[in-house]
C-alpha cells in the first residue's frame, strides 16, 4: 500500500516536470541512490560532466523500491526520453520489458546484458581490475590474510571476489582470503552497519586489508578499517578520498565514461545497440592512484603493479572470469 502510494507520487512528480520533453537523455539509478559514493555516484559524475560540457539537462530518477524501477522507466520512455541509461544488474528484467514495449527508445544498461535491437549492454571486466587490487592487497598485508566484503550475493559480485582472490594468490600463493557477502537482496548494497560488522569479523580473523565491492555498504567497511587501523580498498568510483590514509586504493570502474559516452554518441548519432565490454586495456577498469593514497604505495609496489597490469593487458596473465562458468576454479 505504502509502496503504491509512493510510486504514484513519484510518477506524478516526474510527469508534471516532463511536460516539455522531446528526445532528451535520462538516467535511472538503482536503489542505493546516486550518492552512494560508489557505483551510482560514478554514473552521476558522468551525468554531471555531460550536463556541464553540453548544457543539456539529464532527467534523473531514483527508485525508492523495486516496484518503482519499471514504473519509472516506463514513464520516462512514454515521455520520449532517449537514450535512457539504467544503472545496475538488478534492473535487467525491468529494462528488458520496457525496451520491448518501446522499440523506438534507446536504452543503455550498465552491468547487465540484454539482447534487444534498442539496448546497449555495457559490461566491465571487473575480474581484471579486482585481480590488480588483490595483488596490491597481498603486497600491503602484513598478516598474509586479506578480506573481501561483497554486496548482494550475485554472480557479478562473485566475479569481483574471484578476481581479487586470484590477484592475492598471484602475489602471495600462501595468502588467506576471507570472503563475506552482505545479503541476498538489493538492500545489501546499502547496509553500512552490516558492512562494518563483516569487516570487524574479518579483522578479528587476522585480515588487515579488506576490499569492499558493496556499493553504499562499503562506507561502513571503510569506517571499520579506519577505526581499527587497517587498510581498505574502494570500488567503482575512486573512493580514496572517503578515508584518506586508510584507503589503499580503489578498483575504479569507469561507469561515468560509459554514461557519458552513451549520451555523446547518441547526440552524434553513433550510438549502437549490442555488447560493449570494457577491460583493463580499454581503460574501463583500473586501480586508483592519487594524493590520498600516495603515502601507502611504495615505489616497489608501483613497479610490480605496472608489471602485472602490462601482463594482464598482453594476455600473459589470464584472469578467470567467474561469470563464464559460475565457478572460481582457476
Partner 1 sequence: MFETLILMLDATMRVSTPLILAALAGLYSERAGIVDIGLEGKILGSAFAAAAGAAVFGSAWIGLCFGILASVSLAMIHGFACITHRGDHIVSGVAINTIVAGLTVTLSMHWFGMGGQTPALSGDARFLDITFPFADALQDVPVIGAIYSNLLSGHNILVYLAFAMVPVTYWVIYKTRFGLRLRAVGENPHAVDTAGISVSFIRYRALIICGILCGLAGAYLSTAHNAGFLKDMSAGKGYMALAALIFGKWRPVPVLLACLLFGFLDAVAVRMQGVEIPGIGQVPVQAIEVLPYVLTVLLLAGFIGKAIGPKAIGRPYVKERA
Enumerate binding residues for partner 1 (CB under 8 A). Answer: 2, 33-35, 153, 178-181, 183-184, 187, 190-194, 196-198, 200-201, 204, 216, 219-220, 223, 227, 242-243
- Minimum distance from residue 73 beta carbon to partner 1 (Å): 21
Beta carbon nearer to partner 1, 23 or 184: 184
* Angle subtended by helix axes 299-314 and 126-140, to nearest 10: 150
Beta carbon nearer to partner 1, 150 or 284: 150
- Please choose, from the candidates 207, 218, 287, the residue with its C-alpha nearest in 3D space to the C-alpha of residue 248: 287
- Minimum distance from residue 243 beta carbon to partner 1 (Å): 8
Question: What are residue 204's phi and psi, to 5 degrees?
Answer: -70, -20
Residues paired with 27 in a beta bridge: 60, 85
**CA 145 to chain CA mean position, Å:** 25
- Minimum distance from residue 177 beta carbon to partner 1 (Å): 10
Beta carbon nearer to partner 1, 27 or 122: 27
Question: What are residue 216's phi and psi, to 5 degrees?
Answer: -65, -25
Give yes or no for a contact between 122 and 152, defined as CB atoms under 8 angstroms apart. no
Q: Cell 587497517 sits at which residue? A: 230
β-strands 247-253, 285-287 pairing: antiparallel
Beta carbon nearer to partner 1, 106 or 238: 238
Cis peptide, bond prior to residue 83, ω within 30 of zero: yes
Give yes or no for a contact between 158 and 328, defined as CB atoms under 8 angstroms apart. yes
Beta carbon nearer to partner 1, 107 or 160: 160
Beta carbon nearer to partner 1, 197 or 265: 197
Residues paired with 180 in a beta bridge: 149
- Minimum distance from residue 195 beta carbon to partner 1 (Å): 9
Beta carbon nearer to partner 1, 144 or 201: 201
- Minimum distance from residue 78 beta carbon to partner 1 (Å): 26
- Please choose, from the candidates 213, 232, 179, 230, the residue with its C-alpha nearest in 3D space to the C-alpha of residue 285: 213
Residue 230: CA count within 13 A, CB half-sphere = 29
Q: Cell 512528480 sits at which residue? A: 13
CA–CA separation, 330 and 327 (whole Å): 9
In what helix (H) or strand (E) does residue 211 lie, and over which residues does it extend? strand 209-213
- Minimum distance from residue 204 beta carbon to partner 1 (Å): 5
Enter the DSSP assignment of 323: H
Handedness of CA 42, 44, 45, 49 (dihedral sign): positive
- Minimum distance from residue 182 beta carbon to partner 1 (Å): 9
- Minimum distance from residue 318 beta carbon to partner 1 (Å): 25
Beta carbon nearer to partner 1, 39 or 102: 39
Amino acid at each position: 500500500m505504502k509502496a503504491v502510494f509512493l510510486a504514484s507520487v513519484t510518477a506524478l512528480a516526474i510527469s508534471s516536470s516532463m511536460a516539455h520533453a522531446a528526445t532528451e537523455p535520462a538516467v535511472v539509478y538503482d536503489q542505493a541512490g546516486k550518492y552512494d559514493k560508489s557505483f551510482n555516484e560514478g554514473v552521476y559524475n558522468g551525468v554531471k560532466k555531460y550536463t556541464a560540457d553540453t548544457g543539456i539537462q539529464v532527467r534523473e530518477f531514483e527508485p525508492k523500491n523495486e516496484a518503482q524501477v519499471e514504473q519509472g522507466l516506463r514513464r520516462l520512455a512514454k515521455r520520449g526520453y532517449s537514450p535512457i541509461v539504467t544503472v545496475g544488474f538488478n534492473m535487467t528484467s525491468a529494462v528488458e520489458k520496457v525496451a520491448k514495449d518501446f522499440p523506438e527508445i534507446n536504452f543503455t544498461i550498465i552491468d547487465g546484458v540484454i539482447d534487444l535491437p534498442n539496448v546497449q549492454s555495457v559490461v566491465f571486466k571487473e575480474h581484471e581490475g579486482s585481480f590488480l587490487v588483490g595483488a596490491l592487497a597481498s603486497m600491503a598485508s602484513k598478516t598474509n590474510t586479506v578480506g573481501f566484503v561483497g554486496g548482494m550475493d550475485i554472480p557479478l559480485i562473485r566475479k569481483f571476489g574471484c578476481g581479487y582472490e586470484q590477484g592475492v594468490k598471484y602475489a602471495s600463493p600462501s595468502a588467506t582470503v576471507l570472503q563475506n557477502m552482505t545479503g541476498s537482496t538489493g538492500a545489501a548494497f546499502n547496509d553500512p552497519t552490516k558492512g562494518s560488522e563483516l569487516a570487524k569479523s574479518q579483522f578479528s580473523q587476522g585480515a588487515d586489508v579488506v576490499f569492499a565491492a558493496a556499493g553504499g555498504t562499503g562506507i561502513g567497511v571503510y569506517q571499520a578499517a579506519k577505526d581499527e587501523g587497517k587498510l581498505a580498498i574502494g570500488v567503482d568510483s575512486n573512493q580514496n578520498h572517503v578515508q584518506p590514509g586508510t584507503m589503499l586504493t580503489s578498483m575504479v570502474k569507469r561507469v561515468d565514461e560509459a554514461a557519458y559516452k552513451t549520451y555523446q554518441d547518441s547526440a552524434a548519432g553513433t550510438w549502437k545497440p549490442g555488447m560493449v565490454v570494457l577491460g583493463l586495456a580499454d581503460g574501463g577498469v583500473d586501480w586508483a592512484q592519487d594524493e590520498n593514497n600516495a603515502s601507502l604505495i611504495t615505489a616497489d609496489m608501483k613497479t610490480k603493479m605496472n608489471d602485472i597490469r602490462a601482463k594482464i593487458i598482453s594476455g600473459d596473465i589470464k584472469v578467470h572470469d567467474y561469470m563464464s562458468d559460475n565457478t572460481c576454479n582457476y
